[in-house]
Amino acid sequence: MAAANLAGKSAEDRRLAAADLQNLRLGLEKIRAFLTLAWEMKFISHPVMHDLNERLDILGRQAARWRDWFEKQPRNDWA
């Protein structure tokens, strides 16, 4: 998916993509914090919290891999 998004993109587009993916990870951490608060206030159950945490972990790891991939692309035109 990331390779397809890279085709024909300028260096600035790739920089923005990496920044967007970092912002996604930050957003996921905010969601996790709100879910933790909801769990502590007994609005969501233990099994639901466990399931949501696993899903957030998967999303965060994937976003990190995509960001790392964008950052590792040849920088000859990233000036």
**Three-state DSSP class for residue 23:** helix
Q: What is the DSSP letter of 46?
A: H
Q: Give per-residue pLDDT as tens, 7-30.
A: 566 778 878 888 888 899 899 999
- Write out the two tokens for 69: 């991939």
Model confidence band, residue 75 (pLDDT cutoffs 50, 70, 90):
low
Q: Indicate if the pLDDT at residue 79 is higher than 50.
A: no
Residue among 55, 56, 1 at smallest CA distance from 26: 56
Residue among 33, 61, 62, 38 at smallest CA distance from 48: 38
- d(CA 43, CA 37) in angstroms, rounded, equals 9
Model confidence pTM above 0.85: no
| High-pLDDT (> 70) share of the chain, % | 82
Tell me if 10 sits within 8 A of 76, measured CB to CB: no
